[in-house]
């Protein structure tokens, strides 16, 4: 980052937070003297954003003030949008003067409407020093407001004022920094031809030059150390050149071209980076050799060749990191089969519109989000939710772009256009997450700003001081200085954090976990306590029948048949669960008449002409039933499992003292069914605990989470039953949303970090209060995707311990990368003055080796998978 962009004052003037954003602000361009950034259209129209102009009288004041300018022709004040459009004579006034008149009317001009944001693809910008050159180049472009350089994705996101610059000028600036722009969002919708795929690193022009250079280095070494007799002197005093020296010079000429070119652009853009340092080192070695006949040709050639190899390895390792995100982008198909005019036509996925019917055959990817309107199939949703088992889909079910139709034929009605579907939002959020810098990354970059000047100064000191302090020759001291220049670049430890974040975030996305920033990745790995909502998190969030206890010679089918009839017209969730369960058991139906809902108690209806009731135990006590002595007999005289457990005589139940309390102690709601004269049975309904919930809690403890607590608004009896079943350390029941927030704050006073896991909507206050907010089942839920720090895309709680393990390991990898790369650089630098580090070792170990090491270490995060996979 440039010094300008690091200034906190600059960030504040641009309205961009300093921390957490890889954003360089342009305070000098963000607002002109009048406080406006105007956008001209055809040179005679300006549009200004005036948010405070929100009423007709406001618009009148603005209009009257602006019309005092003689050159103004028309004034259009749009109150609903807060936009002011002014047409004027080009030679009579300026946008600044228009903005000044608006401010004199008492309204603030915030920005020009013509400001736009474009993304520029720069594949060769793959290291921090590359990004530095681009940033310095963009600093000189008038009209650029903010920019983000993303070496991990090879993209530059630029916000600029269209009235003062253009996408072409931004492209020109980036290319003047020495990097080709292969694609822009500005040209993506235009007439520009498609961009060819980037060539392989090992087949690139630079690679070919590197191998040629290496061949000449090898020949030079052969003549220098093996074929002494053939290493004839070709040129004498004042400059001595042997055959080996000439071969080394050719190696420098071929292999050093890209290095010197990069150094030129670094110097031009005032960026002290590895390209400039290596250019100085190579030029210094040649200058000393040719000017003082010191014979450092071999060092210069070795430096040029090995550094070129190091750059190729760095490009290769960064491409590997980028591939993980590209795999997400490749999930969505390019074409879709659409029904139009009674025919099936194949169109680009961008041409598919909401409401279209797309045809998806077995083995094909679903092109957009939609709803199944015909057909049945199993769909592999792993790309979105991370679920390892295909999910059955039929009429009315929702499907997502990028998922795979496994076996059947589907017709899907499109609900989201390309670019607005769930997969596109995930990719966009992953890219944004990679662009946001963590606190550790910001610290490393600040440190790097001091590291390079200090090592360069140390190189000068060693070069000038070692002949006197250690008695080495001037030739050797110069080699020491050149070696230290190689070690002065902090690339390895600067990329150590972002490459780890990229690996962790993209790996999580592939497994159905969306992490919306490196800071959240790091924070999740450091939490000591996890708070879990009950409904929809530990439980399925859907009521289901758990127990049916027939009474008084009735069968289970009899009880369900009556309950189905009584609840068929009820809209209560309990009634819906009973009806669904009875339908699944195919118990048949009874005719219903005179249905009545008795608020707070139950329901009443005539079934086949006989009055029946269903409701709470207290409702039946009011009807005059003795619930302390009821016979429990089922088909063939065999009692139910619940009856066997709670009735000693197997033929009599005390509902008030035993049966009902026992069922309620398990967190179940009890419904009685009967006529005016007889109790027919008991039905227990509950929100079922997720089968993976207990294992997820156990796994969190095993991985190092100190405390797991359940927070719920449910009653204490139900909460206790669920808490005991899943094995949490504590539960807190009957909590309102603000009380959940208070509970999170209490936990934060005891533990260093607290993660809150909920549904992303009802638990929004608690999610926002916690150190990390995690939303469950976020696929297809816009609110959860937008508001949560982390979203578990599927309703699978096993992703939570996976998330913690990935985050915890990512923190370890980042620490390893930072301290190992920094330690290696420091150790090599301190060993240089003692002649322990040859220049080739500085390149291969200090530069290429550490870059490959930190990248490879980061890639290990992709091996972590959820336990159920």
Q: Which positions are catalytic? A: 533
Residue with tokens 């969505």: 332
> Would you give the end-to-end CA distance of the chain in angstroms?
41
Percent of residues in the chain assigned helix, strand, coil, to nearest 5? 50, 20, 30
Q: Which contiguous run of DSSP H or E holds residue 393?
A: strand 391-393
The encoded tokens of residue 98 equal 């228009």
The CA distance from 462 to 468, in Å, is 10
Helix (H, G, I), strand (E, B) or coil at 394: coil
DSSP state of 650: S
The encoded tokens of residue 843 equal 């390149």
Q: Where are the beta strands (DSSP E) in 268-322?
A: none
- Within 488-529, residue ranges assigned H as helices are 491-510, 518-526
Pairing of strands 144-150, 24-25: antiparallel
How many CB atoms within 10 Å of residue 600?
Answer: 9
The sign of the dihedral angle between the CA atoms of 63, 66, 68, 73 is negative
Residue pair 519/439 in contact (Cβ under 8 Å)? The answer is: yes
Residue pair 614/566 in contact (Cβ under 8 Å)? The answer is: yes
The encoded tokens of residue 590 equal 């009874």
Q: How far is CA 461 from the centre of its chain?
A: 45
- Within 704-793, residue ranges assigned H as helices are 716-726, 737-750, 764-769, 782-787
Pairing of strands 111-112, 45-49: antiparallel
Q: Where are the beta strands (DSSP E) in 4-114?
A: 24-25, 39-41, 45-49, 72-78, 83-88, 111-112
- In angstroms, the Cα distances linking 546 to 549, 582, 639, 666 are 10, 12, 16, 11
CB burial string 675-713: b at 16+ within 10 A, e below: eeeebbbbbbbbbbbbebbbbbbebbbeeebebbbbbbb
Pairing of strands 592-598, 707-711: unpaired
Contacts of 15 (CB under 8 A, 6+ apart): 30
Residue with tokens 């096993």: 798
């Amino acid at each position: 980052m440039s010094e300008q962009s690091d200034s906190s004052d600059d960030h504040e003037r641009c309205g961009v937070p300093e921390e957490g954003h890889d954003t360089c602000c342009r305070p000098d361009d963000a607002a002109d003297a009048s406080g406006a950034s105007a956008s001209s259209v055809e040179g005679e129209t300006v549009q200004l954003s005036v948010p405070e102009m929100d009423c007709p009288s406001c618009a009148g004041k603005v209009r009257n003030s602006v019309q005092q300018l003689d050159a103004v022709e028309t004034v259009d004040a749009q109150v609903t949008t807060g936009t002011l459009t002014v047409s004027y004579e080009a030679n009579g006034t300026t946008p600044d003067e228009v903005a000044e008149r608006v401010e004199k009317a008492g309204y603030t001009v915030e920005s020009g409407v013509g400001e736009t944001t474009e993304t520029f693809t720069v594949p060769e910008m793959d290291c921090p020093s590359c990004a530095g050159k681009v940033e310095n180049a963009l600093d000189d472009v008038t009209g650029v407001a903010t920019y983000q350089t993303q070496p991990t994705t090879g993209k530059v996101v630029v916000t600029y004022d269209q009235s003062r610059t253009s996408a072409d000028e931004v492209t020109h600036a980036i290319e003047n920094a020495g990097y080709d722009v292969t694609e822009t969002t500005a040209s993506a919708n235009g007439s520009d031809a498609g961009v060819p795929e980037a060539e392989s690193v090992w087949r690139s022009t630079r690679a070919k030059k590197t191998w040629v250079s290496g061949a000449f280095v090898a020949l030079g070494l052969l003549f220098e150390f093996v074929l002494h007799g053939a290493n004839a002197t070709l040129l004498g005093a004042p400059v001595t050149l042997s055959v080996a020296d000439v071969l080394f010079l050719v190696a420098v000429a071929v292999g050093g071209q890209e290095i010197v070119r990069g150094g030129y652009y670094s110097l031009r853009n005032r960026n002290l980076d590895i390209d400039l340092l290596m250019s100085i080192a190579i030029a210094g070695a040649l200058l000393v050799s040719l000017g003082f006949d010191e014979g450092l040709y071999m060092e210069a050639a070795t430096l040029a060749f090995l550094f070129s190899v190091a750059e190729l390895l760095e490009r290769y390792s960064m491409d590997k990191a980028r591939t993980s995100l590209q795999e997400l982008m490749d999930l969505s198909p390019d074409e879709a089969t659409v029904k139009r005019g009674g025919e099936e036509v194949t169109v680009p996925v961008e041409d598919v519109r909401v409401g279209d019917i797309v045809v998806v055959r077995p083995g094909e990817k679903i092109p957009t989000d939609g709803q199944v309107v015909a057909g049945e199939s199993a769909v592999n949703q792993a790309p979105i939710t991370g679920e390892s088992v295909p999910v059955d889909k039929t009429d009315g079910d929702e499907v997502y772009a990028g998922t795979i139709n496994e076996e059947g034929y589907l017709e899907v009605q499109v609900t989201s256009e390309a670019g607005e579907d769930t997969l596109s939002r995930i990719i966009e959020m992953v890219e944004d997450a990679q662009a946001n810098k963590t606190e550790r990354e910001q610290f490393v970059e600040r440190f790097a700003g001091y590291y390079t000047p200090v090592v360069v100064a140390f190189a000068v000191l060693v070069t000038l001081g070692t002949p006197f302090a250690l008695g080495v020759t001037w030739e050797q001291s110069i080699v020491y200085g050149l070696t230290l220049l190689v070690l002065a670049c902090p690339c390895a430890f600067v990329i150590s954090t972002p490459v780890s974040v990229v690996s962790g975030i993209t790996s999580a996305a592939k497994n159905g976990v969306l992490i919306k920033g490196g800071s959240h990745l790091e924070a999740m790995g450091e939490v000591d306590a996890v708070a879990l909502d009950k409904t929809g998190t530990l439980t399925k969030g859907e009521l289901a029948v758990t127990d049916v206890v027939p009474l008084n010679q009735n069968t289970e089918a009899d009880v369900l048949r009556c309950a189905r009839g009584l609840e068929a017209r009820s809209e209560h969730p309990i009634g819906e669960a009973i009806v669904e369960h009875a339908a699944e058991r195919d118990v048949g139906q009874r005719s219903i008449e005179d249905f009545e809902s008795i608020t707070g108690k139950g329901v009443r209806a005539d079934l086949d002409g006989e009055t029946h009731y269903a409701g709470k135990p207290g409702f039946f006590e009011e009807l005059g039933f003795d619930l302390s002595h009821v016979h429990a007999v089922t088909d063939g005289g065999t009692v139910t499992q619940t009856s066997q457990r709670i009735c000693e005589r197997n033929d009599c139940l005390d509902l008030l003292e035993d049966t009902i309390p026992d069922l309620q102690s398990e967190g179940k709601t009890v419904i009685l069914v009967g006529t005016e004269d007889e109790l027919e049975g008991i039905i227990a309904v509950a929100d079922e605990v997720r089968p993976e919930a207990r294992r997820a809690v156990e796994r969190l403890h095993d991985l190092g989470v100190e405390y797991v607590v359940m927070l719920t608004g449910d009653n204490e009896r139900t909460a206790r039953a669920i808490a005991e079943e899943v094995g949490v350390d504590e539960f807190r029941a009957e909590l309102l949303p603000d009380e959940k927030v208070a509970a999170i704050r209490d936990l934060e006073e005891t533990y260093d970090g607290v993660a809150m896991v909920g549904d992303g909507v009802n638990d929004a206050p608690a999610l926002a209060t916690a150190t990390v907010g995690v939303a469950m089942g976020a696929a297809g839920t816009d609110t959860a995707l937008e508001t949560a720090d982390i979203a578990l895309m599927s309703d699978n709680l096993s992703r939570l311990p996976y998330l913690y393990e990935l985050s915890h390991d990512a923190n370890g990898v980042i620490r390893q990368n930072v301290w190992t790369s920094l330690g290696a650089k420091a150790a090599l630098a301190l060993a240089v003055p003692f002649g322990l580090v040859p220049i080739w070792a500085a390149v291969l170990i200090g530069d290429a080796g550490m870059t490959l090491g930190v990248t490879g270490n980061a890639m290990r995060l992709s091996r972590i998978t959820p336990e159920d996979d």
